[in-house]
């Protein structure tokens, strides 16, 4: 049985282009106790590989978090396969606002300790006792209420390019950082204020809202389906759009526009820009915002130093990288002294 990718990303891209079929990008998640994660992982890989599914799927004993793409003509069969799994029957699929045939180029189904890393001990609170789910219209009504605190549950590099008007934007690098900060910051409002939270597709809010309720918060709400579903409802139901800018997504697209506003700036020159790239220097790979002018000037690099390294031969670059481990502990997303116009959230 083939339970791994045999093709490189470039080889897969060529096949997709030759096939000429339109692909659909979507995501879904479900918190559910999975007893045999290895068996479930293999079952999904074999089932989805036959449907030409590509994407990044995480499985843990607490559930599944899936972001993927497939040929549009396979969508109905994909849904049928999902419905054959009891806890995924009739699950809502968050379909991307903007489609890209090359959003994913490999099928990766990985087993993790948790589908959302929260830094908390196992089973420390009841995930089923979470906040009240609200749709786009209800969400808009809630956030117009002066007794509401609207909280963005995403990381700094996500909220920088797009967020809801008036939202509180914790300046954090990871979800695990945000939970204790928010719980402490709003402690005096446990019983008095509406705490309304949102994230990309809803998965982080499921856990965050349950955490706050465990800590004694009473009026906790979450945007059902996250920004992705909100954008869909705004478009189809002609609801007033209160989201500014782009929604950061975790595939090759990196973002999709929810409104026309550009609320971010190039991290190198300060011009209006909301395009994320990774530094071309493979030893850095820093995620940052770069405009077209700076991309040409720095050859898609984040700094003069990286520009010089990237200008070397591949062999010389490999020698410089030897023995050095590239990780977010060293190269954090959007965190670098070389970025003169990096914003900090409020």
- Which positions are catalytic? 199
Helix 203-214 to helix 175-185 angle (10° resolution) is: 40
| Residue whose C-alpha is closest to residue 170's, from 159, 252, 32, 161 | 159
Helix (H) or strand (E) holding 335: none
Helix (H) or strand (E) holding 60: strand 54-60
The token pair at 125 is 């609170």
**DSSP three-state, residue 184:** helix
The token pair at 194 is 């509406």
The token pair at 138 is 């209800």
d(C-alpha 55, C-alpha 107), whole Å: 5
- Give 162's contacts (C-beta < 8 A, 6+ positions apart): 227, 243, 244, 245, 246, 247, 248, 255, 258, 259, 263, 274
CB-CB contact of 148 with 235 (8 Å): no
The token pair at 215 is 């800590």
| Residue whose C-alpha is closest to residue 259's, from 186, 178, 162 | 162
d(C-alpha 39, C-alpha 47), whole Å: 12
- Give 153's contacts (C-beta < 8 A, 6+ positions apart): 175, 178, 197, 198, 199, 204, 205, 208
| Residue whose C-alpha is closest to residue 246's, from 96, 68, 56, 346 | 96
């Amino acid at each position: 049985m083939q339970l791994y990718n045999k093709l490189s990303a470039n080889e897969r891209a060529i096949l997709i282009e030759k096939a000429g079929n339109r692909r659909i990008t979507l995501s879904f998640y479900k918190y559910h106790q999975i007893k045999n994660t290895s068996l479930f992982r293999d079952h999904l890989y074999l089932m989805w590989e036959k449907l030409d599914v590509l994407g990044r799927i995480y499985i843990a004993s607490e559930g599944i978090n899936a972001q993927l793409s497939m040929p549009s003509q396979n969508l109905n069969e994909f849904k049928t396969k999902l419905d054959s799994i009891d806890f995924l029957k009739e699950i809502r699929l968050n379909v991307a606002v903007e489609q890209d045939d090359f959003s994913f180029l490999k099928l990766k189904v990985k087993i993790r300790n948790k589908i959302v890393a929260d830094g908390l001990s196992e089973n420390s609170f009841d995930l089923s006792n979470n906040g009240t789910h609200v749709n786009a219209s209800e969400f808009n009504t809630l956030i117009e209420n002066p007794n509401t605190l609207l909280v963005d549950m995403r990381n700094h590099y996500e909220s920088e390019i797009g967020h809801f008007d008036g939202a509180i934007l914790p300046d954090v690098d990871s979800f695990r950082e945000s939970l204790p900060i928010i719980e402490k910051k709003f402690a005096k409002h446990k019983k008095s204020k509406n705490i309304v939270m949102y994230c990309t597709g809803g998965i982080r809010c499921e856990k965050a809202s349950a955490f706050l309720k465990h800590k004694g918060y009473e009026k906790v709400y979450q945007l059902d389906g996250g920004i992705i579903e909100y954008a869909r409802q705004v478009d189809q139901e002609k609801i007033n759009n209160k989201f500014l800018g782009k929604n950061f997504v975790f595939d090759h697209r990196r973002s999709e526009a929810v409104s026309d506003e550009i609320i971010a700036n190039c991290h190198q020159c300060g011009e209006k820009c909301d395009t994320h790239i990774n530094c071309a220097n493979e030893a850095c790979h820093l995620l940052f915002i770069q405009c077209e002018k700076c991309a040409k000037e720095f050859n898609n690099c984040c700094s003069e130093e990286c520009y010089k390294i990237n200008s070397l031969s591949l062999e010389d670059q490999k020698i410089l990288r030897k023995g050095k481990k590239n990780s977010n502990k060293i190269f954090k997303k959007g965190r670098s002294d070389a970025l003169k116009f990096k914003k900090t959230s409020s």
